[in-house]
Amino acid sequence: MAAQRNVPASSCFLSKREQMLVQELLRGEEFVFFGGAALSEREVCCYLPEYLDESWLYSEGGPIAAVRASFYEQDRLSHRDFLGSLMGSGIKRETVGDIYVASGLCDFLVLREILPYVLQNLTSAGRTKLSLQEISLADIQLPQQAVKTVRDTVPSLRLDGIISSGFSISRGKAADYVSAGKAELNYLPCMKGDKQVSEGDLVSVRGLGKLRLEKVGGNTKKGRISIEISRFL
């Protein structure tokens, strides 16, 4: 419809899993994903007519707005505090993008259409009073992602083996997480412990965290495979 009318259009915020499904659905179509900040997890799917380029996404007419909530530094607030307050204010999850919490401030993304409502209605997070203002997307303060590098050797590139190595748990416990439906491979649920993991794949385990298989090296003299994993802390 947007293509026929030759006007820009965008979806609500999508999780990585939803983005993969949209990619399959719109294969062959012209679209871009945009989250408002570098390496965003939650992004909107956008159609841009020929007369617009991607710089429009960062403009005041673009689909995403950034909000900064300031509070006293001694009040320690978390991602959960802000998400809960947003939902408690009647704001739907699909209208909220990534949330970045730092000492004394929180920058978060919303659909531009709900910006006035957010600025007027989000007054606190828990018992902590907030001071809100719109900021440009360029001014978002992104937290530094702490990463632990794990170098190991494994008998194979099975999912349960990579989880065992990356999170320093036993192979049996890793298999239990997978069979319990707590593991995702590239944002899709995976309950097969013998599923092969490839270089660059992302693995998430509920209760443990997220890691990426960065490098797959050669075999050792004992036939084991050298690997390098980035574990996000």
For every residue of 112-167, DSSP letters joined together read GGGHHHHHHH--EETTEE-EEEEE-GGG--PPPPPEEEEEEEESS-BHHHHHHHHH
CA 97 – CA 213 distance, rounded (Å): 26
Q: What are the extents of the domains in the chain?
A: 2-58, 64-139, 147-232
CA 12 – CA 218 distance, rounded (Å): 44
DSSP state of 196: B
CA 166 – CA 152 distance, rounded (Å): 9
Q: Which regions of the chain are under pLDDT 50?
A: none
pLDDT at 6: 72
Are the folds of 64-139 and 147-232 the same? no
CATH class belonging to 147-232: alpha beta
pLDDT at 2: 59
pLDDT at 144: 83
Q: Furthest-apart CA pair in the chain: how many Å?
A: 65
Choose among 141, 81, 66: nearest CA to 111. 66
Q: Cα 93–99–102 angle (5° rounding)?
A: 150
Beta bridge partner(s), residue 4: none
pLDDT at 3: 59
- pLDDT digit string, tens, across residues 131-183: 999 999 999 999 888 899 999 999 999 999 999 999 999 999 999 999 999 99
What fold is seen in the domain 64-139? Alpha-Beta Plaits (3.30.70)
Token representation of residue 73: 């530094």
Indicate the SS3 state at residue 71: coil
